[in-house]
Structure 1
């Protein structure tokens, strides 16, 4: 049957068990397949994953998002929570690309991200214009250690969430409203004035919030150097969180993976299916690229 392997892998990428795949192949195509064939087809995916994970990368990525998600894997007879690390970049063409995925048994940490960034560098990446990350402690330092000229943009959505940890329910709507003038300002000076106004109103009740923003100010303000279309792309890690949500839908079918390879196979196939849909460049990309070129002339203007 033509495309038999592709059909098996398509069903597997949806999180189906071997038994479910056999049943679906019988029901949809009238084909009986053995459990051994399913295992053989899916096992071959590991070689594809190794080649994909070690493939050369482009020299320059204007934008890179980094994020992690938790998954459950049985390891040495016990259930463990592991972190799947993902790096999502935008190529100079404006198309998104997953640079790789990594599993770690420890919680998400800057030290492991440092090893990920070093691997990316060794695979050919010379420069990242701007890296968009959440508020993980030590994250900016890890990025700058490998890519010293990269600007680090903190996810504003994560920053707001962290700020609201200290706010009572009755004040949340007002606090969120008063934070908007900071990150929606036209310039850095306007943002600074908005932060001062916020502190004057709320420091008497929630002094921690303005301090959080001040502590992260260096990694909040890069977005003010770009026009609105680019700001909408870089002010949040929504792009990579959307990838995580897609993977999460597949993971819901598996309460626990028997081993790491099983998780990697399923996640890779789900990613592969997702990446096939990324055929259109990011909106307003040509304009965005011109700003990145002006900001990074040594990499773009040869």
Structure 2
């Protein structure tokens, strides 16, 4: 392929990326999944830069990447506020449930943009963070015990199971107890829902699966010369469907049952237009 042809193809992808990144999103998203990956970008010197990723599940159960944004430094709630505000300006009028990691200040940023949103901290992130404080020899026992907490039938039952966990592990690993207590308000919302909703919102795995494809694509390149080069590669990943899927993220399984349950909880905030 000639350099001229390569240049024209590159310019076309960049133009498509700009249109895609600024496309209107005039709809309600019952669920959004919020996460970030880090890539190496050269700006004088090579540094790790966060790229913010938001996946929305619309009222038809389709998952869609709503945008990609390059951050200026470490992942931060202020930068997330800018991202979420842009999404609202592009037409995301309402979000029912936002699932995110435990980044300090992020729940407040979400509810500043969408005041009625339920913020759910990703349980998988919470468990992984817990294991950072524990000896590997205890990982199996700790994850088994924590599973009884996040699979409890109610928030009250989860509190009882966590009290047992604290009694067994609190003296040895007080940092784990502190982590869960500080996250409790954002951990418990999904416990109010039946299983068909819980399995959709208790983890950001859907966006993490996409991030795994992003990492595979970026790892081969080492680092990028600039932000646009990094975004272009990630956009091409999004444009490339996986086998047996119409788009890169796919459709949410069991969505009709989940939608009916969401309608019971959120009423006319669910719109099927």
User: TM-score normalised to the size of structure 2?
Assistant: 0.93
Task: Find the counterpart in structure 1 of residue 33 from structure 2.
Answer: 65
Structure 1 residue 101: Cα displacement: 0.4
Q: Distance in 1 between matches of 2:228 and 2:117?
A: 33
Structure 1 residue 295: Cα displacement: 1.8
SS of the aligned residue for 2:92 comes to coil
After superposition, the C-alpha distances for 1:144-176 in whole angstroms (9 at most, x for unaligned) are 110111011111111112212222233222222
Distance 1:208 1:73, change over 3 A: closer
Q: 69, 72, 82: which is aligned to 2:49?
A: 82
Q: Distance in 2 between matches of 1:278 and 1:82?
A: 23
Q: Distance in 1 between matches of 2:122 and 2:146?
A: 14
Q: Distance in 2 between matches of 1:184 and 1:136?
A: 23
1:283 paired with 2:253, answer yes
Task: Find the counterpart in structure 2 of residue 151 from structure 1.
Answer: 118
SS of the aligned residue for 1:127 comes to strand
1:160-175 matches, within 5 Å, as 160-175=127-142
Judge conservation of contact 1:66–1:131 (CA < 8 Å) in 2: yes
Q: Distance in 1 between matches of 2:249 and 2:39?
A: 29
* Unmatched runs of 5 consecutive residues or more in structure 2: none
Distance 1:72 1:148, change over 3 A: same
After superposition, the C-alpha distances for 1:199-240 in whole angstroms (9 at most, x for unaligned) are 122222222322321221111111112222321221111110
Q: Distance in 2 between matches of 1:208 and 1:252?
A: 33
SS of the aligned residue for 2:240 comes to helix
- Which structure has the bigger radius of gyration? 1
1:140 paired with 2:107, answer yes
SS of the aligned residue for 1:254 comes to coil
Q: Aligned pairs, how many?
A: 269
After superposition, the C-alpha distances for 1:43-94 in whole angstroms (9 at most, x for unaligned) are 121111111111110321011011111111122x322221111100101000
User: TM-score normalised to the size of structure 1?
Assistant: 0.84
Q: Distance in 1 between matches of 2:15 and 2:136?
A: 51
Structure 1 residue 103: Cα displacement: 0.7
Judge conservation of contact 1:160–1:176 (CA < 8 Å) in 2: yes
* Unmatched runs of 5 consecutive residues or more in structure 1: 1-32
Task: Find the counterpart in structure 2 of residue 248 from structure 1.
Answer: 215
Q: Distance in 2 between matches of 1:127 and 1:239?
A: 20
